[in-house]
Amino acid sequence: MTIRVPRDDVADAALLADFTTLSAIGATPAGGVERQAATDADGQTRAWLGSWLTERGFAVRQDQVGNLFGLLELAPGRPYVLAGSHLDSQPRGGRFDGAYGVLAAAHAADRLRRHHRRTGRTPRYNVAVVDWFNEEGSRFKPSMMGSAVFTGAMPLDTALATTDVAGVTVATALRAIDGQGTGHVLDAGRDVAAYAEIHIEQGRELDKAGNTLGLVDSTWAANKYEMSVIGSQAHTGATAMADRQDALYGAALVVVALRELADRYGTDLHTSCGQLTVHPNSPVVVAREVHLHLDLRSPSDDLLAEADEVLRTRLAEIEVQADVSIQRRFSHTWKGQHYHPEGVALAAAVADDLGIGHQRVRTRAGHDSTNLKDVVPTVMLFVPSVEGISHAEAEYTTDEDLCTGVDVLTEVLARLADG
């Protein structure tokens, strides 16, 4: 198949200028952004995207969980090919994670729109851009919330009732940024023909291999837990050591146990505790309760299950050692799964036609495509992350790679829209 929507310098310059504008919203001093879900900064990026799409003739709609769509009618009455990612960020996060994918989708869809206007051709499917609500899961857990509601993996009511640490619900936070629509925009089963997403790799594989494009063929599995370590509040000076039930001591042992677990399994297990809340968190008080968020990931479902069992045994020992009780519950889990082989093949054909160096990759991070692939044919693409840095202000991808990624995504969208 020939290239239908060729790249040009004007389009590249427009993409980079828009990325600079977007990156200024919620900018942090060292080049990152802070735009957690449904905060004012998230609201500002969504408003900016909405105007950008409206100016170019997209119909902008929000659904009840805050997913924002830009619908482009190219083939009236037909289903849509969706492309997108997320505009929300981690606290002090990078400016590329998610935002690049949404902007890339908007530019790719707009190039397609102009192409069809020029040629007068009608594709088989319509095209839509989407910003999935709360992919990061930092303010409201779990991650990938908007896409999970869209695909039916999470009930809408559960998502809307989820609270942040201040007790604010998703529903209230969305209303505060004018981010909630009144109904369905698209039905995942009926209205979506395919989904495409481009994202920074967030790892080093592409950078090391010198390839510009990663074709995601599978995903690591993940187990995430909420944990409470419960002790009893006491005086740090007056209480004898033997009498203490120090929740923070118990939590510290859990953190160490997690790291030792990863060390035991080598490179096929990643573990961390990224969040810890101490109560009452006062200098002269032995902690009565600590909440932790645990994250275990592996390319192997079996290895993850085994590591989980080892951890369970160790937690029982820690309960005795620190004289605390430990409760944990799954907050989010997904299996190691494959992406659609036809999607990988389509992306490989596009990359070959455009002469772009590519390789297959297995994503370790979760993406909205992790949900979408369960219900519609999905293509997931990566562009390189310099030194693999992500969820940090120093996250970086070169302008050249950003532009090449949009070029590939445009052609992928064109082919998906042609069915």
Q: Tell which one of 188, 206, 324, 365 touches ligand GLV (CB under 6 A).
A: 365
Q: How far apart are CA 7 and CA 12, in angstroms?
A: 8
User: Which does residue 97 bind out of Mn ion, ligand GLV, none, counting CB within 5 to 8 angstroms by kind?
Assistant: Mn ion
Using alpha carbons, select from 381, 40, 41, 407 the residue that is nearest to residue 32.
Answer: 41
For Mn ion, the closer of residues 12 and 395 by Cβ is: 395
Under rule CB under 6 A, residue 366 binds ligand GLV:
yes
- DSSP per position, 314-334: HHHHHHHHHT-EEEEEEEEEE
- CB nearer to Mn ion: give 143 or 228: 143
168 token code pair? 């604010």
- Residue 343 or 366: the one with the smaller Cβ distance to ligand GLV is 366
- Residue 33 or 311: which CB sits closer to Mn ion? 33
Q: Is 34 in the site for Mn ion (CB under 5 A)?
A: no
Do residues 160 and 146 touch, judged by C-beta distance below 8 A? no
The CA distance from 136 to 99, in Å, is 12
Which of 71/144 has CB closer to ligand GLV? 144
Cβ-based nearer residue to ligand GLV, 102 or 365: 365
Does residue 143 interact with ligand GLV by CB under 6 A?
A: yes
Establish whether 97 is an annotated binding residue: yes
Query: Min. distance of Cβ 365 from Mn ion in angstroms?
Result: 5
How many residues touch ligand GLV under the rule CB under 6 A: the total is: 3
Residue 126 contact, options ligand GLV, Mn ion, none, Cβ 5-8 Å cut-off depending on partner type = none
Task: Determine, following the binding rule CB under 6 A, whether residue 336 of this chain makes contact with ligand GLV.
Answer: no
CB of 100 to ligand GLV, least distance (A): 14
Task: Compare residues 64 and 143 and give the one whose CB is closer to ligand GLV.
Answer: 143
In degrees, rounded to 5, the angle at the alpha carbon of residue 189 between the alpha carbons of residues 217 and 80 is 80
Looking at residue 177, the DSSP 8-state letter turns out to be T
Beta bridge partners of 168: none
What is the biggest distance separating any 2 CA atoms in the chain, rounded to whole angstroms?
82
- Contact present, 318 and 326 (Cβ < 8 Å): yes
The alpha-helical segments, DSSP class H, found in 273-377 are 301-322, 341-354, 368-372
Using CA atoms of 160, 166, 167, 170 in order, give the dihedral in degrees to the nearest 10: -10
Asked if residue 377 binds Mn ion (CB under 5 A), the reply is no
279 in a known ligand binding site: no
Is residue 351 helix, strand or coil?
A: helix
According to the binding rule CB under 5 A, does residue 98 interact with Mn ion?
Answer: yes
Q: How many Cβ atoms sit within 10 Å of the Cβ of residue 199? A: 28
Q: In angstroms, rounded to a whole number, what is the distance separating the alpha carbons of residues 201 and 223? A: 21
**By beta-carbon distance, which residue lies closest to Mn ion?**
98
- Check the annotation: does 391 bind a ligand: yes
192 and 150 Cβ atoms separated by less than 8 Å: no
What is the nearest approach in angstroms of Mn ion to the Cβ of residue 90? 6
Closest approach, Cβ 71 to ligand GLV, in A, equals 26
Query: Binding pattern to Mn ion, positions 55-94, x when CB under 5 A?
Result: ----------------------------------------
Query: Which residue's Cβ has the minimum distance to ligand GLV?
Result: 366
Q: In the β-sheet with 325-334, what is the strand arrangement from edge to edge?
A: 270-279, 289-298, 221-230, 325-334
Secondary structure E strands in 110-191: 126-131
Q: Is 97 in the site for Mn ion (CB under 5 A)?
A: yes
Residue nearer to Mn ion on the CB measure, 26 or 98: 98
Residues at the contact surface with Mn ion, assessed by CB under 5 A: 97-98, 365
Q: Which residue ranges make up the annotated binding site?
A: 86, 97, 136, 199, 391
Residues at the contact surface with ligand GLV, assessed by CB under 6 A: 143, 365-366
Q: Which residue ranges make up the annotated binding site for Zn(2+)?
A: 86, 97, 136, 199, 391
